[in-house]
Structure 1
Amino acid sequence: MLPVTATFRFYEELNDFLAPTQRRREFSCVCARAATTKHMIEALGVPHTEVELILVNGESVGFGHVLQEGDRVAVYPKFEALDVTPLLRVRPEPLRTIRFVADAHLGGLAQLLRLAGFDTLYDNHFADDTVQALATADARIVLTRDRELLKRRTITHGCYVRELKPEAQLRELYDRLDLAGSTHAFRLCLSCNVPLRQIDKSEVHGRVPDGVFERQARFVTCDVCKRIFWEGSHWQRMRALIDSVVGERRRNATQ
């Protein structure tokens, strides 16, 4: 069977995944006969988890659409302002509960997401197969800087993290996934990813420094690692970070 030729145009941040000669312009590409939109989009370097909408000859299609000779394909990322409700989005409805699994390069981001209250699995030794299995089993959003991982068929929700430093990565995710309204800071242990519980002051006597015991009235603990936490200077710095990130997002939403 003869191949077909289609014309592609990718928009906004999806261009980051393309070869320099293909960015922000239309370009023609030879496609295998019976190639689908998903196959060709990923063959060009764009993970399917980054795509929100595909138009072929002006009509909204899904990932399984088979390309025909002369098709014009427009590929879009998540829309921040444009209402695309009447169109066919290429994945199911957004996840009801936001949970993450982060790959081995994103330990700092994983801790900050836990700080903000988001269930985030992370282990420096997670293999790609493990990340994929956890994402599938628990309906988790995969966070990674490995675009090939996001191309795996069973991963339906994922984000290629562009920023390099944890705080910038956190701000990036808040912008891209609109996380401000789901923030419940200081409810999870940063090490164990389990809920913290309040503990009576009398139970921490001898387990925290004397000065902390005298100054603080409220303590919480993790039932896994048994650590005790209180609202000290580190808590205040972390509180300021979360307030800054959430506040920025809310200000942007009202502009």
Structure 2
Amino acid sequence: MAAAEIRFHDRLNDLLPPARRGRTHTRVVARRAAIKDVIESLGVPHTEVDVILVDGASVGFEHILAGGERVEVYPWTCAPPAARHLRPAPPACPRFVLDAHLGRLAGYLRLLGFDCHYRRDIGDAELAAIAEEQARVVLTRDRPLLRRKRIRLAHWVRHTDPWRQVEEVCDEFDLYPALAPFTRCTHCNGRLIRIEKAAVAHRLEPLTRRYVETFRECEDCGRLYWHGSHVARMKARVERLRRRGLRERES
């Protein structure tokens, strides 16, 4: 049986077992196989792939391998510019849907002003449907999820620390110009609107009623927000994030 030689470039190797990174993979082609299926059988989801070269020619996911070819697979970060790009371009301010394991990342992204659909009990089929029907970008730590055909634009989150995940996603989609902190409810994703203190005074604890003057309310769930010591800490984090974005643009 004929075999195809496949090599993954740059960060696509993150998706492979350590012993198989940076190496050429030999895959026996027992029947006519779509190149997308062969790539995913090696552990790399189609959502992470931007360019595929077969014997130097740029092809799409539907290309059929017969065996004997040399295949080069690139992520968008280092894809040859003249090739056929397979990864859809994300919008300037993408909307996200996150898997059930990324609750803290969802909360942070909402705090930064980004529209994030998240539920602890969301299943893979529902998540893929929401991604397709609402044109949302999938963020996940679950690689098998990314093999679903309904998912076109996604990112497999590498880091496990939630704030490092924030930095990773901001880098991936260049979110820095769209940062709008403290404009979205971290609990339900609704928009925050200013509200007069008199309208919510009956809902406040005595010390809050005495010392705080400015409030925001979620227009969906009614949760109240005001500036406390935690906000000062988060403002410092946001400022560091903005500086990170400037460094990324200058590099």
Q: Which TM-score bucket, shorter chain as reference?
A: over 0.9
TM-score (norm 2): 0.92
Aligned residues, how many? 251
SS state of the match for residue 225, structure 2? strand
Matched, 1:237 2:239: no
Q: In the TM superposition, what are the counterparts of 1:141-152 in structure 2 within 5 Å?
A: 141-152=137-148
TM-score (norm 1): 0.91
Shift of 1:83: 7.6
2:10 is matched with 12
Q: Distance in 1 between matches of 2:182 and 2:59?
A: 42
Matched, 1:186 2:182: yes
Contact kept, 8 Å, 2:88 with 2:153, in 1: the verdict is no
1:165 is matched with 161
Matched, 1:136 2:132: yes
Distance 1:92 1:222, change over 3 A: same
C-alpha deviations, 1:87-146, integer Å up to 9, x for none?
Answer: 211133323651111111110000001011111111111111111111111011111111
Q: Distance in 2 between matches of 1:21 and 1:66?
A: 28
Shift of 1:221: 0.3
Amino acid of the structure 1 residue aligned with 2:71: V
SS state of the match for residue 205, structure 1? helix
SS state of the match for residue 188, structure 1? coil
C-alpha deviations, 1:50-89, integer Å up to 9, x for none?
Answer: 111111122221111112332111111121xx68553211
C-alpha deviations, 1:190-224, integer Å up to 9, x for none?
Answer: 00101111112322323234444444442110133
2:61 is matched with 63
Amino acid of the structure 1 residue aligned with 2:38: M
Runs of 5+ unmatched residues, structure 1: none
Contact kept, 8 Å, 1:95 with 1:139, in 2: the verdict is no
Q: Distance in 1 between matches of 2:250 and 2:85?
A: 25
Matched, 1:116 2:125: no
SS state of the match for residue 54, structure 1? strand
C-alpha deviations, 1:217-236, integer Å up to 9, x for none?
Answer: 42110133322211221111
Q: Distance in 2 between matches of 1:164 and 1:27?
A: 28
Q: Distance in 2 between matches of 1:254 and 1:197?
A: 35
CA RMSD of aligned residues (A): 1.9
Stretches of 4+ moved more than 3 A in 1? 82-86, 209-217
Question: Aligned to 1:247, which of 240, 243, 246?
Answer: 243
- Percentage identity across paired residues of the two chains: 42
Q: Distance in 1 between matches of 2:38 and 2:86?
A: 15
